Structure 1
Amino acid sequence: MHRYYGRATDAHSEPPFRCDGFVRAGEIVDATGERIALSQLPPFLRALMVTDGTVTKILEAYFWEPVVVDTLEQRFEVALEPVPWLDVERGDSCLIRDAQLRGVDSGRCFAEAFSLIRTQLIPPDFRRRLIDREIGIGVLIRDSGLESYREVLDVGLERTADGRAAVFRTYRITIEHQPVILITEYFPLELYR
């Protein structure tokens, strides 16, 4: 949860892809200040940065194989600091989920996702299915028929533990006019080149 502490207050500018799918001079920056022009990203990866649809379905269509969501870890955690993007206050309990989107046939990891979820704000059946890890969050929202709005808040570049570059996007899912879920998805850059 710590990755989101204070994030809304330290935003320097409007993130690329928040409102538009085309940002002529747009770039992403990593923690060391390295900049990459958005035009230099592989086209499909740029499309993933702007989509507000279910990423699993888009990956299935692009890689042409079924994609499963493997939940690596799921736990409840109490916020030590506020998370402004989600209206979480210090002391609030949230569900944390780490998952991989993996190709069934190839076994390749197409993306990793970290989610922060305010479970008390979602309907009981949705909450149960989420906690029971039945299916991925995007598919669960679609299958439940809940009206939702997704908003890209941040995009960037990070290095994984083994030094590889991964492009990420963080987006918020609003359900019934309340911010309920933050998801950061990491896409290994080399896989999409």
Structure 2
Amino acid sequence: MSALNQKPSAIESFQDITNNLLDLAKIPAFLRVLLTTDGTVTKSLEAFFWEPLIVETISQNETVLDEPAPYIERDTGDRVVARSVHLRGLQSNNIYVTANSLICIDVLNPQFQEDLRMQRLGIGELLRECNLETYRQILEVGEDRRKDEVWRTYRIVTEHHPFIQITEHFPLSLY
């Protein structure tokens, strides 16, 4: 078999936090891309579903952590912004993603903090607008058969410091 026909062995499957092996081959191709990409998903979803998406904030609160958040290197008692949003299709009204985030607001510039408080954009778009150099590190990928969804957790890092943790939930029925 030529190298072009071989699957990339590093992404054939992921082990989720319950130690179940998630077989990516059984997941629709576009969802595989979304689960394994280290980029923002909003523009990809808009292109795939051919409709604009709106960010619908479910909740956003400054809070004190009641347990450690090791993915963003925060301890119990540290202040963060806890945010939950839906990425909803403007015409279809479909909820393509539900995202839950923990954001270390104290490391962000004042413009980003203000834009975040305004709740007008997704985090990826806010980061792009602020020209903040970041990278995403995928930490976990899993499946919840009861909810008929797959999910991923990743963190966003700037200057070698993780400052945002995001878990995105994708309903299988839409993909």
- Calculate the TM-score normalised by the size of structure 1: 0.81
TM-aligned CA deviation for residue 177 of structure 1: 2.3
Provide the rounded CA distance (Å) in 2 between the counterparts of 1:73 and 1:24.
33
Quick check: 2:55–2:120 contact (8 Å CA) kept in 1? Answer: no
Quick check: 2:16–2:140 contact (8 Å CA) kept in 1? Answer: no
Runs of 4+ aligned structure 1 residues displaced above 2 Å come to 21-25, 27-31, 33-36
TM-aligned CA deviation for residue 175 of structure 1: 1.8
Provide the rounded CA distance (Å) in 1 between the counterparts of 2:108 and 2:16.
34
Task: Count how many residue pairs are aligned between Structure 1 and Structure 2.
Answer: 169
Provide the rounded CA distance (Å) in 2 between the counterparts of 1:134 and 1:120.
20
Q: Deviations over 1:84-131 (max 9, x none)?
A: 111101110110000000100100000100000000011011111111
Where does the alignment leave 5 or more consecutive residues of structure 1 unmatched? 1-20
Where does the alignment leave 5 or more consecutive residues of structure 2 unmatched? 1-7
Alignment RMSD (CA, Å): 2.0
Q: 1:91 corresponds to which residue?
A: 77
Q: Which SS does the other structure have where 1:131 is aligned?
A: helix
Residue 60 in structure 1 maps to residue 43 in structure 2: no
Residue 180 in structure 1 maps to residue 167 in structure 2: no
Provide the rounded CA distance (Å) in 2 between the counterparts of 1:95 and 1:178.
17
Provide the rounded CA distance (Å) in 2 between the counterparts of 1:22 and 1:164.
28
Provide the rounded CA distance (Å) in 2 between the counterparts of 1:60 and 1:184.
19
Q: 2:114 corresponds to which residue?
A: 128
- Which of the numbers 26, 47, 53 marks the counterpart of 2:13? 26
- Calculate the TM-score normalised by the size of structure 2: 0.89
Q: 2:96 corresponds to which residue?
A: 110
Identity, % of aligned pairs? 43
